[in-house]
Amino acid sequence: MVRLEIATFAAGCFWEPQLVFDQIKGVKHTEAGFMGGNVKNPSYLLVCTGHAEVVQVKFDPKAVSYAQLLKVFWQAHDPAQANGQGANIGSQYRAAVFYHNPAQKKLAEKTKLAVEKKGMKVATQILPAGEFYHAEEYHQKYLQKRGLKTC
């Protein structure tokens, strides 16, 4: 039986990152949701209470490494933009890696430092994973439901 691992990323509106991560071989499941705030079971309307929109990724580490997922993450968002991504402005659209264990934290910090060494001021946060709250069903695979297959 395959033992899946979990990675959680915030990269603006969760629709596009979910589509991006769904295309990676070794990713077995993605889920749009919320993390990082203090309100339990937030709805989409309550996400502004400190939560970020996130994509939780369940992956087979024998098929895709956490390092490979981080590489995709750093390419899939603007690490220099604080409190938003593109036209989506607000703390709920901030960029963050929510790590689930010390190894993920170490690797996330290492990759962030590599981006900074290229001369970029990085606003992306590295934070401990908290409780994950599933977003409403209409947010799940939102772009795929509308016929988009790639970004």
Q: What is the pLDDT of residues 74-114, one digit of tens each?
A: 999 999 999 888 888 888 889 999 999 999 999 999 999 99
Write down the domain spans for the chain. Answer: 5-145
Could you say which of 3.30.1060.10, 1.20.120.920, 2.60.120.10, 3.10.20.30 is the CATH number of the domain covering 5-145?
A: 3.30.1060.10
Catalytic pick among 7, 10, 11, 13: 13
Cα–Cα distance between 111 and 93 in angstroms, integer? Answer: 21
CA 54 distance to own-chain centroid: 5
In this prediction the pTM is 0.90
Q: Which structure tokens are listed for 131?
A: 């409780």
Helix (H, G, I), strand (E, B) or coil at 91: helix
The per-residue DSSP string of 15-58 comes to HHHHHHHHTSTTEEEEEEEEESSSSSS--GGGGGGT-EEEEEEE
Q: What is the pLDDT of residues 37-85, one digit of tens each?
A: 887 887 666 666 678 899 999 999 999 999 999 999 999 999 999 988 8
Q: Report residue 150's pLDDT band, with 50, 70 and 90 as the boundaries.
A: low
Q: Name residue 58's beta-bridge partners.
A: 6, 29
Please indicate whether residue 48 is annotated as part of the active site. Answer: no
Please tell me the predicted confidence (pLDDT) of residue 134: 84
